[in-house]
Amino acid sequence: MPEPARHSAGPLRLPARRESLALVREYVGKNLEACGLPGDRRLRLELAVEEIAANIITYAYSPAGSGDLECGFAADGKTAEVSLTDWGAAFNPLEKEDPDLAPELDRREPGGLGIYLARNLAGSCSYRRDGGRNILTISMPLQPEAGSARSKEEGA
Amino acid sequence: MEITVTKKANAVILKVDGRMDASTSPEFDRECGALIDAGERSLVVDFGGLEYISSAGLRSLLSAAKKLKAMQGQIRLCRMGGLVQEVFALSGFASMFSIYPGVEEALA
């Protein structure tokens, strides 16, 4: 019998349109459940995936929706990893500047926060350009990392 | 996401349960828009049952807050926890909104 935490799934390729977000969420949610990622880290990873996917849907293609978005999943027993691929112009969202976090309501414009949240909530994010594809990989350890504030709390 | 609306003497409470994401936030926009159009100027949003909010949800809240501010109204939030609280802290939204521990405090 396979170890429950070790799990991978065939990729899901969809049109890069807003309607596809629900299917991405379903695919990721199902796989994260199968690999046993606990609730709080599962939600953080789901959020990072939603933000990156939404960014692809809005910006990867011109006109918007004229290309595809592919979502992949793998877990090796230690880490759950979701990859998001598009075939748009080379773009590394991780190099995007942090948004203005001004506390005044009047100065804040909607948007710009998604990538920032993804970067800060996922365990780690990495980008590579490969054969005309942008591949963004978001990963989260299945267990709290040794030495993190959380594991210290748990050990106390 | 599920929204339950309760009218009080001087405010309307919107209890938002589940997930505020790109797919569900438009529903929050519609609900807030309808309440504001009906003349409501004081909204209390109860996040006690909300487990997830993405930037799409933040955008909806910001747009409701701006709309209300322009009409001398206001939006107050309460019972925030877990990831929702973390997203508010990270995004700076925690210092833009009036946030209360409970519904009673938000109504006071």
CATH of the domain at A122: 3.30.565.10
Q: Is the pLDDT of residue A154 over 50?
A: no
- Class of residue B64 by CB neighbours under 10 A (exposed 0-12, middle 13-18, buried 19+): buried
Closest CA of chain A from B90, distance in Å = 7
> Does residue A130 lie within any of the structural domains?
yes
> Does residue A50 lie within any of the structural domains?
yes
Residues of chain B contacting residue A113, judged by C-beta atoms under 8 Å apart? 55, 58-59, 91
User: Are A111 and B55 an interchain contact pair (Cβ–Cβ within 8 Å)?
Assistant: yes
> Does residue A83 lie within any of the structural domains?
yes
Q: In chain A, which residue's Cα lies nearest the Cα of B24?
A: A22
Number of domains in chain A: 1
Question: Whole-angstrom Cα distance, residue A37 to residue B59?
Answer: 28
Question: Whole-angstrom Cα distance, residue B14 to residue B11?
Answer: 10
| Identity of the residue numbered A108 | R
> Does residue A1 lie within any of the structural domains?
no
| Identity of the residue numbered A112 | G
| CATH, range B2-107 | 3.30.750.24
Range of the domain at A124: 7-155
Probe site for chain B from A26, A43, A57, A96 (most B CB atoms < 10 A): A43
Q: What does the pLDDT average to over B52-79?
A: 96
| Identity of the residue numbered A150 | R
> Does residue A62 lie within any of the structural domains?
yes
What is the ipTM metric for this complex? Answer: 0.92
- Cis amide bond preceding A63, omega within 30: yes
pLDDT higher at B71 or A107: B71
- Contact pairs from chain A to chain B, CB under 8 Å: 70
User: CB–CB of B92/B61 below 8 Å?
Assistant: no
Tokens matching residue A92: 């590394």
Rounded to the nearest 10 degrees, what angle do helices A39-59 and A20-34 cross at?
150
pLDDT confidence of A153, banded at 50, 70, 90?
A: very low
Which residue ranges make up each domain of chain B? Answer: 2-107
Residues of chain B contacting residue A24, judged by C-beta atoms under 8 Å apart? none
pLDDT tens column, A89-146: 999 999 888 888 877 777 776 667 899 999 999 989 999 999 999 999 999 999 876 6
